[in-house]
């Protein structure tokens, strides 16, 4: 696909992955409309961290996914939609499950309805590996059963099924991309990797929940590139495609690796308050990325260690921001 002049809407553009994807699309020449959740501060999130020339090229739009009229205005005139906007915080979803459902399910329905009304060329809907729950077999392929082990994951399953329904019912050209544990610069301070890195850079102790769960980490630029590959591949319309590394690491081993890269010992203090409810903990995630390799021609290019080095260097320069309270989601 030639992205030069292509009219693209990115929801959740001010968030972690969204800001990287927006940057990548703008640098490829796309005419990007960046949709972010309205806040009283008037902030556009991590988009404000982009290169000034890239930032000035964006059409910045504030709104709320739960407001159908706001979504309609954002979608109108777009040719391609990347839907990343969501309430992403798992701990917050235990406290406010209704908000998770309203944003992730109803918000996605609003995007799908608008995409259908305006006849968009392609929509890439962002799922999450959390929809699989704890692995029933590994590696996890796209046929793995879905399991709502938290209100967040249940809401994302609902959103995914709506996207599938709009393809099957209305022939909407939507592809579902399911990333596994993306990490990198600009990630929420409450995610495990920035949590450990910031604690390592500022002290000698890290406070975490369970150390035994395993995760399959993908560097954010690889995830964003995979989303663009999905928009370019007609074969993935109406299907789900995993984006992951096919490599897993336990959280305890991840802490050891980060401590080595930072260059100082790090004591681990387990805190019960950080542990998920027993039946809600996802113990193992390991992606099967065969479909992405075969259909998208996508392979991860950044190793876990190299991605962690980049993230550590970035966090050194942004410690002040990460020591302040961070917002959990940008819609």
Q: Are 209 and 252 in contact (CB under 8 A)?
A: no
Encoded tokens for 224: 């964003």
Catalytic residue of the set 38, 55, 132, 152: 152
Shortest CA distance to 183 belongs to which of 153, 221, 232? 221
Name the DSSP class of 250.
E
Report CA Rg, the chain. 19
Rounded CA-CA distance 47/292 in Å is 28
Virtual torsion, Cα 261, 262, 266, 271, nearest 10 deg: -90
Shortest CA distance to 72 belongs to which of 105, 113, 35? 113
Q: How does 98-115 read in b/e, with b if 16+ C-beta sit within 10 Å?
A: ebbbbbbbbbbbbbbbbb
Q: Give the list of residues 6+ apart from residue 110 with CB closer than 8 angstroms, or none.
A: 65, 66, 67, 68, 71, 72
User: Is 152 a residue of the active site?
Assistant: yes
Name the DSSP class of 276.
P
What SS3 state is found at 140? strand
Rounded CA-CA distance 87/106 in Å is 12
Give, rounded to a whole angstrom, the gap between the first and last alpha carbons of the chain. 27
Rounded CA-CA distance 151/29 in Å is 38
Q: Are 112 and 163 in contact (CB under 8 A)?
A: yes
Active site residues: 152
């Amino acid at each position: 696909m030639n992205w030069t002049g292509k009219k693209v809407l990115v929801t959740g553009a001010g968030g972690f992955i969204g800001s990287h994807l927006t940057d990548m699309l703008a640098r490829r020449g796309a005419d990007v409309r960046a949709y972010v959740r309205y806040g009283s501060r008037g902030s556009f999130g991590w988009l404000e961290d982009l290169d000034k020339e890239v930032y000035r090229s964006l059409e910045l739009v504030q709104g709320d996914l739960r407001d159908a009229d706001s979504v309609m205005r954002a979608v109108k005139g777009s040719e391609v939609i990347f839907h990343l906007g969501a309430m992403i915080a798992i701990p917050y979803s235990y406290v406010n499950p209704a908000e998770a459902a309203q944003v992730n399910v109803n918000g996605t329905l609003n995007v799908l309805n608008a995409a259908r009304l305006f006849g968009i060329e392609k929509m890439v809907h962002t799922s999450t590996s959390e929809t699989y729950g704890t692995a029933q077999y590994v590696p996890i392929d796209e046929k793995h059963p879905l399991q709502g082990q938290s209100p967040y994951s249940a809401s994302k399953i609902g959103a995914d099924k709506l996207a599938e329904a709009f393809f099957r019912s209305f022939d909407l050209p939507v592809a579902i991309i399911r990333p596994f544990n993306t990490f990198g610069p600009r990630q929420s301070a409450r995610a495990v990797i920035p949590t450990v890195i910031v604690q390592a850079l500022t002290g000698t102790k890290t406070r975490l929940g369970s150390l035994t769960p395993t995760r399959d980490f993908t560097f954010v630029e690889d995830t964003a590139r995979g989303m663009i590959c999905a928009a370019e591949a007609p074969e993935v319309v109406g299907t789900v495609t995993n984006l992951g590394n096919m490599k897993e690491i336990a959280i305890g081993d991840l802490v050891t690796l980060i401590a080595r890269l930072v260059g100082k010992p790090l004591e681990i203090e387990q805190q019960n308050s950080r542990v998920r409810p027993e039946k809600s903990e996802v113990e193992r995630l390991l992606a099967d990325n065969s479909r992405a390799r075969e259909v998208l021609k996508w392979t991860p290019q950044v190793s876990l260690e190299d991605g962690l080095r980049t993230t550590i260097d970035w966090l050194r320069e942004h410690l002040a921001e990460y020591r302040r309270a961070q917002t959990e989601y940008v819609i």
